[in-house]
Each structure stands twice: as C-alpha cells, then as structure tokens.
Structure 1
C-alpha cells in the first residue's frame, strides 16, 4: 500500500487527490489556479455581477473570467443566477461548498500577505546568491 492510499484511507474519503485519475484533481486545479482562487475570494464578499467581479479581480481578462466562472459553476462552487430583465442581469454567488472553500483560501491568502516581507527578503537572498534572473 502506498502512502497516498494510506492517507486516503486514514481520512475515510472515497477520493484521493494524489491519485492520477482522481476527479478531485480538476477541481483543485480550478480552485488553486490564479483566477479561480481570486474569483472565489472576491465572491466571498457577496454576490457580484460579471463586470463587478472583473473589476474586483484586477488583471483578469473577460475570456479568462468567463472560463473560470464556468469551471467553478460546473464544480458546484459558484451559482449563476440570470434575471429575466431587459437588459439581462446575471449575478454570481458562492454555493455553501464554495463558501467553505473560499474561507480556507482566504486564510491562506492572509498568511501569504502577512508573510510577504519574509518572502521578498528570501527572494532577494536567493537572487543575490544565484544571480538575478
């Protein structure tokens, strides 16, 4: 038995993200990718329309945000609600699972933001010893 199998059994879960064929890998990729994590974090603040979300997630293109939202919606993390108005209004919000995932991501984001002085110092030391790249 591999350590990956043992850890999945210890947790009593039917899925194991470390296994190549596990479907959780795709969702992990959607959540931890640059735009997925930022989108979930932005939506943790509440329901947003597409352009509001695009402004909140600075730097994301319309195409990437659209693809990200589709992936997160398919994974059951984001709910898309279209209002039958003229012009059409579409709101995006987190599902209960999306809220849980976003809260854990935000905790990681806070750790990273709080440790950025250390990160920047480490990068500087690294670059000095290996020559700037």
Structure 2
C-alpha cells in the first residue's frame, strides 16, 4: 500500500495558503503549509517533500529564488509555481529549464490537481522532465 505523497505549499497569503493546503488534503495527499520560502527550506519536511507549490511574488524570497535554493540543495522536487505574471523572464527561464510548471492565476482545482499528478511522476504515471541547470 502506497503512502500519500507529501506536498508543501508556500505562500505568504494565509487564506491562499490554507485554501490550497485544504484542497491538496481533500485530494488525498499530505499537505504542509509554510508562510515563507525560508520557513520551508528550514523545516523538517524539506527532505520528504515530493512536490512543492509556491507563489511567485513573496517578500524576502520569491518563488523563483526558492526554486534556485531547492536546486542548490540538489533536491529534485518538482515545483508548481503560481503566478499572476506568467511572462516574467525569470518565470519563463525556470519553466523552460524544466524546473517548474507555471499555473497562471486564477486557476481552478482541476488544473492544480492535474499539475500535481504530473509532477509526482512515475507513481502517478505522467511526470514532466526535471533537468538540472
């Protein structure tokens, strides 16, 4: 019997963070929420996270900066980046490098769930490629 996947949700907006976390849990996954990139990077859950959902625009460390920090730690965590500004150069660069999938705001639950399933890869059947920089 497979254990549910561990999903981390990083967003400085508490209502968004709780809504996404609740949705992820309702889909049968373990979800842990963090108010900042730094809180996630220093948490006990970093090493067990199988998919990261993060906002682009956060104070102190942006979602793209968080992706770089995750990669610097040699972690191969697929990232779903939620953004109102899908065309920013850093976002496009991260997406084209295979580091993340970008969900433009607003998005619905079915789009998020499809992205999670694809991010989780072989156990879910549909991974997108993750390449190192």
Normalising by structure 2, we get a TM-score of: 0.26
Structure having the higher strand fraction is 2
